[in-house]
Structure 1
């Protein structure tokens, strides 16, 4: 096989992660025909189709799945060497950083991060990826995201962690709830109807405690995101468990009230995660350090 061009490796890895020629072109800042041409060259080199169009996107073939780990890791090592010897000037950089957040993180933390970063790096681009807790280890390892903010521990080897917030869970409900006043008993909690946010959001500690305690409740609604909850709660008698900071923000914006839970849920840490080896990159180091500073300065 002829020697493999580094640009072709980058197209292959990006296309494998994105599963879309359009998204791969956007991430590489090239045209779609350029990605298609590179894919054609890759197919000739490996004598394999590598990716097949399907309803779900560009599905990798068996050969593509076999070569992907080696090419991904090799590209990451090369990029790391190049980045470690490259200066980063935030004032003039147009680099794109990708940060995985829950929708709660978007509401509570993203404004702080932008307010801190944009004055010192006006031309950088920040892309927010909707967090899927079961995939973040892979996302960090493959470079799909530069960093992740979440409350669930990420135990993938080679991941750095820095706690940026301490939080606790509370209950949020309609201010004029017909059967619950300013104190929530366990009996009222069990008798009430509940809204629950899907576990993929990364907020599941309270749900784990409820399961461990054997508490049986009436779940009337399951939603994928937190952002719709204020509208739902002010027009219903549903209860929902939320982190205290965002519950307090919702309470300020809508006729809702925050009550303490009638059982003990341990406080939890919200942490920033990133791939350990990327710390040698000045750009990556700047990005993580400034997220930490943004949350600390506004806490």
Structure 2
């Protein structure tokens, strides 16, 4: 087979399919219709005389041939991007570009409502594709020019990526103003003895439970909830307490009869990291967008 006879757009589609393991997700990533990607997959199979993907309980599983082609395409695109980046410039006022964000549900509630009016005013040609983390281990990998904004992980992240800490916040203990616990010194054993609301899921506070366990303590969790907003309202209407990042303990838009006291673990913090693939470190458009995201924190 002569390389000049191959439609290079098909190889780009193949790379997206290998990354996403799904026709619909690959279509969304590329800004195409699902039928267009399905048609491209049929052409790919005919071109390379290989099934390329087989169905499995986890989605579309690439064959060895598909992985070889996707890796070769990925390396070639990296080289092209590096060459273009050397002379590229970016004007947000006139640029037409799509940025892909993968963010935790908690972060999206804070970030997206702030980004939208800025982009509509300063960069009307910019489009955003945002998706939540679902817990699938594969989505931890940064694919293409995707940007991740998520709860910081301890240690070094797996795979190639760069990180910027955009938020490093202390926890406080939130309780109703009439809760008798507010009159006692918030020692670590006393904190552990209370009844708690825990924000669970992809942005949970498991780090607190880990720190308590090391010290031979555990907290009695009565409610597991998906968001800080839920935790605040439950605390305001019960005798439960919640560990919440300090800046979100109070909401000026919906004030509640709550008070916050010092959290008894100084070494436990709430941090948010912005992550991207190193090959886009010098991309002027993504650099501009990363700075814009960081400013929102």
Given the two structures, how large is their TM-score scaled by the length of structure 1? 0.80
Aligned to 2:257: 255
Superposition deviation, residue 63 in structure 1:
4.1
Flag structure 1 segments of 5+ consecutive residues without an equivalent: none
Aligned to 2:153: 152
Match of 2:218 among 216, 219, 229: 216
1:226-274 deviation digits (Å, cap 9, x = unpaired): 4432343344433322211122338953333322223433446533222
- Distance in structure 2 (CA, Å) of the matches to 1:39 and 1:55: 20
Pairs aligned (count)? 293
Aligned to 2:272: 270
Equivalent residue of 1:228, what SS?
Answer: helix
Question: Structure 2 matches for 1:17-28, cutoff 5 A?
Answer: 17-28=19-30
Match of 1:128 among 124, 130, 143: 130
- Distance in structure 2 (CA, Å) of the matches to 1:232 and 1:25: 40
Equivalent residue of 1:241, what SS?
Answer: strand
1:78-121 deviation digits (Å, cap 9, x = unpaired): 33434544432311233221223323322334444444444211
- Distance in structure 1 (CA, Å) of the matches to 2:218 and 2:150: 31
Q: Residue 30 and residue 265 in structure 1: after superposition, are their counterparts in 2 closer, same or farther (change >3 A)?
A: same
- Distance in structure 2 (CA, Å) of the matches to 1:225 and 1:73: 40
Equivalent residue of 2:272, what SS?
Answer: strand
Aligned to 2:199: 197
- Distance in structure 2 (CA, Å) of the matches to 1:277 and 1:202: 31
The alignment's C-alpha RMSD in Å is 3.3
1:114-143 deviation digits (Å, cap 9, x = unpaired): 444442112312233324688598532x22
Q: Residue 61 and residue 238 in structure 1: after superposition, are their counterparts in 2 closer, same or farther (change >3 A)?
A: farther
Aligned to 1:119: 121
Aligned to 1:170: 172
1:168-195 deviation digits (Å, cap 9, x = unpaired): 1112234443x42254344442232223
Could you tell me whether the CA contact under 8 Å between 2:99 and 2:128 is conserved in 1? yes
Could you tell me whether the CA contact under 8 Å between 1:195 and 1:222 is conserved in 2? yes
Q: Residue 159 and residue 69 in structure 1: after superposition, are their counterparts in 2 closer, same or farther (change >3 A)?
A: same
Superposition deviation, residue 8 in structure 1:
1.1
1:10 aligns with 2:12: yes
Could you tell me whether the CA contact under 8 Å between 2:133 and 2:139 is conserved in 1? no
- Distance in structure 2 (CA, Å) of the matches to 1:200 and 1:255: 28
- Distance in structure 2 (CA, Å) of the matches to 1:112 and 1:239: 29
- Distance in structure 1 (CA, Å) of the matches to 2:125 and 2:136: 32
Given the two structures, how large is their TM-score scaled by the length of structure 2? 0.80
